[in-house]
A and B are shown apart, each in its own frame.
Chain A
Amino acid sequence: MKRRNFIQQTSAASAFVGLGGLSSLSFSEATKHITILHTNDVHSHIEPFGPDHHRNPNMGGVAKRAVLIEKIRQENPNTLLLDAGDIFQGTPYFNFYGGELEFKLMSKLKYDASTLGNHDFDNGIDGLYAQLPHADFDFLISNYDFSNTIMDGHTKPYKVFTKNGIRIGVFGVGIELKGLVNDKLYKETKYLDPIERATDMSTILKNEENCDLVICLSHLGYKYDSEKVDDHKLAAKTENIDLIIGGHTHTFLEEPTIVKNKADNNVMINQVGCYGLYLGRIDFYLNGGKPLAGNGKSVEI
């Protein structure tokens, strides 16, 4: 154990003893339940699809998503709401308002954090910057170096949330913009190796920030046959990530995917297609608790 960790635990434990007395010495704690809700590639789909749409009639829509999220938050107040990027582009709402409405609505729905997708640069890095005042949530991205751009200092590599005493570390990784986005739009944004950065971020979150859960918001894409980095490769080449919330490839999954990480432990990958048609729901049960909802894909990590 590192000395810093010992000191943190000692002070935390002392405070706990001071308040709770002997009861804190119990060897079995109650199950703690954390819920993660997530979207990706919503692409400016503010309104639901119309009743006559050939594929998704009456599906999606921010107002309906708000009701669903609120219902789940009432069930479990220890809930985080996250997005894996490509908030922008796809309906005239973006062309008309430049992303203002998307960010304002996400703030109203109380999103906790989002990463950035390639389409979030569609109005240029200046266009993204201009909409930041409308976002009451953090943008987490660890592998874009914005030092020489207007976005410098306006994103974070990771953030730690504490819910019911559980420390949840969330970090973001984005796709290589070169070839996907006109370089005049992303300007001097430097792309850093996502695996290296994810390794660093997850190690910091696990060992230095003492997170109980480590979540990666990824806009890399679900799976490619080529060498191109994707969520599966990211999971297999790292060892401190519990959950990868993906995007970019608009992949609809029947259920989340479980893969093995470098240390042969389970990692869950989930992605909910696109356009806000689905909401992803992940429930973590800590301290030996059993899944309560019981109707999703469940695995020990």
Chain B
Amino acid sequence: MASALIYSEEMAPTFLICVPLHRNLCTMKKLIKQIPLIFCILSIISCKFDTEVSKKTIEGKEIPIDSTIPGDPKIEAFIAPFKEHLNKTLDSTLAYNPHVLSKGEKGMNTGIGNLMADIVMKQATPIFKSRTGNNIDFVLLNYGGIRSELNKGPVTTRDAYNMMPFENQIVIAELSGEKVEALLRYLEKAKSAHPVSGIKIKMNKEYKVTSAMINGKPINPEQNYFVATSDYLQQGGDNMSFFSNPVNLYDTDYKLRNAIIDYFQKIDTIKAKQDDRFIKE
């Protein structure tokens, strides 16, 4: 007895045909003709059976790529010319810094913070002016955004990358006088040397703002101000919520890091230092 499962073209229910092996030659021939089909069908049964019983086991782990693994010399050789060019550019001198500028300086402003805020003012003003006809009134960055100190000596592109490793761009938010007041309240709570430029702020011992002058004048609650900052802070970074929903928002498409590099290229010696722009009694 041989049996075969026959599938109809329409995939109708399957049925079984029994063929007595020794009836006659004709039947045998038919059977021989069907052998490939029989094998085929048996294979399917076997496949299906495997699928039903087969188990899948999954095993996973994290392999540290540490000092025990040597580097592939071919890959290292491929990287080498890229690395060389990169380092040459990164380490080429752009300017000279006569004193260490560190964010560790005491007080409500630091030499390096002043440098960064002044760079934003100097580099973004011509762009903003040419596009809108307006001037930037003042700049506010964040203390946490100063990512490294600037050593004494030659200043390189690498220093700019260290100071500003992120891709943040300079934006200008047009803020109402009320929002600028909220900005001052933020600074009172923050008690931090957030870098500024173009604004002069005095605080008492309790960190209350006693005077805030923009372009030599006190803040007018009826007036709007153009405040340059980074897109990160404008979008609520460091909880600077007063930057949200500004009257207008202007993109410069100018990265902070590129502004720093461009400024370093322009000047010979960095003159930034602590001053009286933001002080506390």
Contacts and interface: CB of A to CB of B under 8 A. Distances in A.
B72 A17 contact: no
Contact of A64 (B40, B69, B169, B231): B69
B72 A280 contact: no
Interface string B61-105: 111111101111111101100110110011000000000000000
A59 B79 contact: no
Nearest to A72: B63
A265 B231 CA distance: 44
Nearest to A17: B39
Nearest to A296: B61
A89 B167 contact: yes
Contact of A58 (B55, B67, B161, B253): B67
A227 to B, nearest CB: 19
Interface in B37-64: 39-40, 42-44, 46-47, 49-50, 53-64
Given A59-B64, A70-B72, A25 B46 contact: yes
Interface residues of B, number: 50
Interface residues of A, number: 84
A301 B60 contact: no
B56 A60 contact: no
B63 A25 contact: no
Given A67-B71, A68-B65, A270 B60 contact: yes
A182 B66 CA distance: 36
A13 B43 contact: yes
A209 to B, nearest CB: 15
A68 B36 contact: no
Contacts of A286: 54-56
B57 A299 contact: yes
Given A281-B63, A287-B54, A294-B59, 19 more contacts: A46-B83, A47-B79, A61-B65, A62-B79, A92-B90, A93-B86, A96-B85, A108-B78, A184-B253, A213-B56, A255-B61, A256-B61, A270-B60, A278-B65, A281-B60, A281-B61, A288-B54, A293-B61, A301-B58
